[in-house]
């Protein structure tokens, strides 16, 4: 969800106004994904590198996320959305916010409509290092380590591989997002800044995705010798 700061800058507003304006986009996209039948939606809200931002901006984001989580908990529950939070390991995260994350996850744990993963204080490399630690602790012999077994040590190992990554604002970077899971993801980079991103923009990204020819390193279906 990129472009909040630039959206604010274009309006001569403080960066925090851009973050505040992001709330509408978040809710619109969650509703659009749910209606479109998306089963797994992940939102990258705060990276392990975002701690390098000015303290006041970080504090604002912590307060904002807390308010948004509390405000929209009833909607998420009503829509049958299971919420989980990926990351959330840094001691600088306010205790009350971590508690609200836990509460929302517990509240919505039995929902099966769509799984919403909010990546907050997330870093793909950290997840891989933590998985390696967990694997070593499990005593698995080195020769028995497979990709499947390794992936079982990542957080939320039931999460499927990522099919589509949407990064708004025209930036074209991974920025440490779910590095293991995006191995064969399709990418789209809409120019629109996140605070202006809405359901039709999201659906346009899904449409682009559907037209992609996913080969996973193979050859196109029509030339693979299949007689059908
Ligand atoms: C939101 O956009 C992303 C967050 C980490 C909250 P930015 O704050 O990165 O916006 P730009 O890139 O400065 O425009
Ligand atoms: Mg940015």
The answer on pLDDT for 228 being more than 80 is no
Kindly report, residue by residue over 122-146, the tens digit of the pLDDT: 999 999 999 999 999 999 999 999 9
Give 13-44 pLDDT, tens digit per residue: 999 999 999 999 999 999 999 999 999 999 99
**Distance, CA 2 to ligand 2 centroid (Å)?**
5
Ligand 1 centroid – CA 167 distance (Å): 11
Residue 217 annotated as lining a ligand binding site: no
Residues with CB under 6 A from ligand 1: 1-6, 19, 46, 50, 61, 169, 194
Nearest-CA residue for ligand 1 atom 5 is: 46
Around 198, how many Cα atoms within 13 Å sit in the side-chain half-sphere? 2
The residue contributing the CA closest to ligand 1 atom 3 is 2
Rounded to 10 deg, the angle between the 15-35 and 199-211 helix axes is 60
- Run of H or E including 43: strand 40-47
Distance between Cα 44 and ligand 2 center (Å): 11
Neighbours of 157 (CB within 10 A): 11
Catalytic residue among 50, 111, 161, 176: 50
111 flagged as catalytic: no
pLDDT in tens, 195-209: 999 999 999 999 999
Q: What is the pTM of this model?
A: 0.95
Instruction: Give pLDDT tens digits for 142-154.
Output: 999 999 999 999 9
> CB under 8 Å to 80, separation ≥6 — which residues?
34, 111, 112, 113, 114
Residue 155 pLDDT > 90, yes or no? yes
7 is in an annotated binding site: yes
Q: What structural domains and CATH numbers belong to the chain?
A: 4-121+163-210 (3.40.1180.10)
Determine the pLDDT at residue 222. Answer: 67
Asked about 52 being catalytic, the answer comes back as no
Q: Note residues around ion ligand 2 (Cβ under 5 angstroms).
A: 2
196 carries a ligand binding annotation = no
* CB-based burial, 207-227: b 16+ in 10 Å, e otherwise: eebeeeeeeeeeeeeeeeeee
Q: Give the confidence band of 226 by pLDDT, cuts at 50, 70, 90.
A: low
What per-residue confidence (pLDDT) applies to 221? 74
Ligand nearest to the Cα of 195, by number:
1
Q: Is 4 annotated as a binding residue?
A: yes
Task: Inform me whether the pLDDT recorded for 179 exceeds 60.
Answer: yes
Residue 45: closest CA among 109, 123, 115: 123
Ligand (nearest to CA of 1)? 1
When pLDDT is cut at 50, 70 and 90, the band that residue 224 belongs to is low
Mean of the pLDDT values across residues 61-70? 98
Q: Which residues pair with 119 in a beta bridge?
A: 44, 86
């Amino acid at each position: 969800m990129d472009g909040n700061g630039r959206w604010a800058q274009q309006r001569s507003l403080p960066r925090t106004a851009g973050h505040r304006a992001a709330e509408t986009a978040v809710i619109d996209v969650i509703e659009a994904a749910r209606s479109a039948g998306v089963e797994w939606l992940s939102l990258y809200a705060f990276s392990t590198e975002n701690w390098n931002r000015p303290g006041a901006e970080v504090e604002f984001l912590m307060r904002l996320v807390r308010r948004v989580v509390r405000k929209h908990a009833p909607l998420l529950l009503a829509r049958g959305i299971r919420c989980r939070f990926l990351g959330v390991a840094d001691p600088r995260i306010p205790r009350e916010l971590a508690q609200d994350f836990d509460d929302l996850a517990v509240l919505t744990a039995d929902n099966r409509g769509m799984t919403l993963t909010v990546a907050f204080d997330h870093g793909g490399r950290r997840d891989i290092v933590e998985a390696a630690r967990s694997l070593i602790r499990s005593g698995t012999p080195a020769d028995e380590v497979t990709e499947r077994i390794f992936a079982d040590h990542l957080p939320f190992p039931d999460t499927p591989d990522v099919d589509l990554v949407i990064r708004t604002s025209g930036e074209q970077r991974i920025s440490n997002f779910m590095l293991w899971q995006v191995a064969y993801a399709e990418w789209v980079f809409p120019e629109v800044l996140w605070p202006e991103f809405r359901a039709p923009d999201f659906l346009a990204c899904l449409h682009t995705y559907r037209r992609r020819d996913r080969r996973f390193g193979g050859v196109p279906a029509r030339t693979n010798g299949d007689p059908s």
